[in-house]
Structure 1
Amino acid sequence: MMLKTIDFPKPTLVPVNGVNLEIFEAGRENRGNPIVLCHGWPEHAFSWRHQVPALVAAGYHVIVPNQRGYGNSSRPAEVTAYDIEHLSGDLVALLDHYGYDDAIFVGHDWGAMVVWGLTLLHPGRVNTVINLSLPYQERGERPWIEVMEQMLGGDFYFVHFNRQPGVADAVLEENTVRFLRNLYRKNVPLAAPEPGMMMINLATADEPLGEPVMSDGELAVFVASFETSGFTASINWYRNLDRNWHLLADVNPVIAHPALMIYGERDGIAKSESLAAFVPNVEVVTLDCGHWIQQEKPEETNRAILDWLDRQGGMRL
């Protein structure tokens, strides 16, 4: 009901790759010019609500999945069901469902990680790449979690999710409203990192910092989704980072596709110093915002995406 009130497309369940994905589709009249929007964690297809109308108006067939583990999409029990082969395989199967050889893929946060991985594993199914917040992650000599544990310690949330399975999941599920309220903030004052595990700290903090990113009604969409799904399935994406590192061992690490990278100037995720070495045809845009880029700066995000797509030749109709 809330999605309808905010004029977001109605969902349909689509069987792909052995699971069902909850898909929000708009602009079917623009068939032949697909763009797929991939959310991050702990998000929902609804995080793209500001982009969907603008993309439809610009002539795109917009496909927005709740990826596996989210919303009313399937939530397999096995941790390994959330590795990059499965997550990218879902998107390939989604293209097959709609009869598309390829599409423009847009990702934010973990969605960006999936889009980078999809482009490495299935380069022929990706037309162009647009990613927000998370730049291409170089595959170094040692698995990612191992490196993070050494550099950032056992309380860093990526490491904690892997080394203490179930602990954070339970805290977030006990405090879903408070966690999401405290997480979705902007203009948060700069401060030294707190001791302990960041996500657990957010879930148990009495007062949020900064300003809300969204209205109470919008936040309620996210809350209702995670009250239904819980957090374990989505956190299982993190629990496959080292598995992904192994799965990508023999893949050409260079992405030759035209790519747009959109950073938030005040995002906690660092910009990449090696981006152009691995994504040589990348253009970089930085917006004055934090992590929730397309929700904090919707008009600026839409303009950056549409201007860049226009310079790539725009639609293929």
Structure 2
Amino acid sequence: MQALGKGFAVTRESGVRGQEAGSGAGEHEAGRGVLPQATSGSRIAWAAVPEEVVAGIERLLGGRVVDAVSQPGGFSEGLAARVRLASGGRAFVKAASTSAAPAAAAFHRREIEISRRLPRAVPVPRLLDAYDDGDWVALIFEEIPGRLAAQPWRRDELDRVLAAVTGLVQVLTPSPVDGEFLGGPRLGGWAALAKGVSSVEGSAVKRIDALSPWAARHLDELAALEEGSAPALAGRTLLHGDLYPFNIMLTAGRVFVVDWPHAWVGAGHCDLVTLLASVSLSGIDPQPIAEDHPLTRDLDAAQIDAVLAMHSGFLLRIAASAGPQVDRHLVDMMVALGRASLRWLRERL
């Protein structure tokens, strides 16, 4: 999921009212909601990519692209397409312009470096090549003949994915990528909201009450959970950092995890906890799964609570602060996933 850039404007029309209209006001205490549309509203077609960029990508592909089909899933701006060459070869290409979509381009450059460092044993599409002319940046991956995980979840597919997460942790511990290169995780937000460190935060706190009255009433307690979360996050595993259904592809025999720009190094259970929080949007109770899964069944309860607090704080703070220029699909997704994490945390507490 693409992160929102710093310095975005906050206005009265900044999207919380849209959330209330589209998702229903309040917290949905009785319902579980649904997973919103998981495709950026800022995708472009292959035909919209400048000719010189197309030519550069085709040189790397080794042939002319005769067909390109945009793909669903994810929130990156720019191109995301399966392409077919005149020779019959196939690949997956995603690309963005630094001048038009600086955040997406920065994530693409980061993903290039991460993808180059991933071991062959990791179930990810192989990065075949990359293009960067200083403005446009493109990643060329092998095409995976699969599909996104079905939503709502089918239990057999969820079980496959849960087993694959265990395998990922085994392969990626210790991390093959230097944690200092990656930096910290995209987690946390309640502490900043509680402190009201800026006018943006002050406006966001007012909107939090519309998204979750319970969170607004317990802001200090959520901030305390977040501020004590460091031990629950510490570890040596390379984590995906955005492990949701729209980044999971299934083939007949394998589970692939795509889109790695938000990877970080930490505790092996963190990706699983955030994924489990999202399954409630399919009407599945995450608690029994967590109690049975090998990555979480022996954890102290406070470790899971800390991850849920950090995760919900990040998502709902960003959603509550988003200006009208931000992709509404992304905001809808953040609100749905943030509420799901918060709901599970509240039930646990």
Scaled by the length of structure 2, the TM-score of the pair is 0.22
